Structure 1
Amino acid sequence: MESKPCKNSLAVKTSHVLPPDTNNHGTLFGGKLMAHIDDVAAISAVRHARKPVVTASTDSVDFLAPVKETDSVCVEAFVTWTHHTSMEVFAKTVKEDLLTGEREVCTTAFLTYVAIEDDGKPAQVPVVYPESAQEKQLHEGAPERAEERKKRRSHSKAVAADFGTDYPWNGNA
């Protein structure tokens, strides 16, 4: 399987923020922006693997600035690191006041996707390699982020096992 540069997986999507996308403060719903991020990051992962993918993890989505109705949001995503069947994708969202042209990074996030074979089992993915200084910076930090994800997932599984499917606080346990 041939290695691929980070830039080959770049996916970009710009969307206008409309009234149904906003909350009572007139700012974009966080969940709506997260859906944009997952959509673009998944496209990036598919571009790299050339196979269907599933979202395995979303690291913290850091909301750095509010996005107002009439702004646009531009999500850019690319694969920063790969393991056997998984890919880490970095996503950055830039908001733009379409009337003034003022732009600002409003979110950053790291997501992990797993490539899937036709039978639903994980599929091998090509190695990704960085070229630019920014790609190299993200690539070098990826193993540490992967280890943190592994620890967080283990903790999440333990919490899920402790809580189970019942609500212990309502007397049904």
Structure 2
Amino acid sequence: MQKFKSAKESQVSITQLMLPSHSNFGGKVHGGHILNLMDQIAFACASKHSRTYCVTASVNKVDFLNPIEVGELVTLKASVNYTGRTSMVVGVRVESENIRSGEKKHCNSSYFTMVAKDSEGKSLAVPGLVIEEEQGVRRFTRSLERKNQSMSRSTKFDETQFKFQDHLGELDKENVEIILK
């Protein structure tokens, strides 16, 4: 196994025509179809980086920014942004293109945490990431920050440590009625 690899070595891109079978009841491409494609390209990118089978551990923040129309081309781009010991954060960008006008829209960006696995399902070490540009430093640091925030949220809202009384004041401004029994 290589000790370190650049993000460029494992970048993956796919383009697919959106068909009527991909649409939802509103006539737009179904978000679930796009999520499926995103998961597939994140898997391909992580597997290419680690040279082994990978599984999705988590998906961070999925915002659908623009709808995708049937008949548009959708391009997904994936790149490794962060490497831990056995995990990788793969950034996925989704763009649509109207084939008649050439107009392109950014539709989604998301971050998939992928974990390398051996044939027995045990986590495997992955090559580290060679960062070759400032953008890479920003992406790595941002992924590290998301990881730290996630750990903090898990601890802060742990069922055994959470004290609901501490948070009731925050809820006064929200669209909620609390009737505790």
- Superposition TM-score, scaled by structure 1 size: 0.85
* 1:5-84 mapped onto 2 (5 Å cutoff): 5-84=6-85
- Deviation beyond 2 Å, 4+ runs, structure 1: 132-136, 148-158
Q: Give how far 1:135 is off.
A: 2.4
- Superposition TM-score, scaled by structure 2 size: 0.82
Name the larger-Rg structure: 2
Q: Give how far 1:156 is off.
A: 8.7
- Secondary structure in 2 aligned to 1:79? strand
Q: Give how far 1:80 is off.
A: 0.6
Q: Give how far 1:154 is off.
A: 5.9
Unaligned ranges ≥5, structure 2: 160-181
Q: Give how far 1:148 is off.
A: 2.5
Identity, % of aligned positions: 30
Q: Which residue identity lines up with residue 70 of structure 1 in the other structure?
A: G
Unaligned ranges ≥5, structure 1: 159-173
2:4 match: 3
CA gap of 1:51–1:135, structure 2 versus 1, over 3 A, is same
Number of residues paired by the alignment? 159
1:143 match: 144
Could you say what the CA RMSD is over the residues aligned between the two structures, in angstroms? 1.9
Q: Give how far 1:153 is off.
A: 5.5
CA gap of 1:36–1:152, structure 2 versus 1, over 3 A, is farther
Q: Which residue identity lines up with residue 74 of structure 2 in the other structure?
A: V
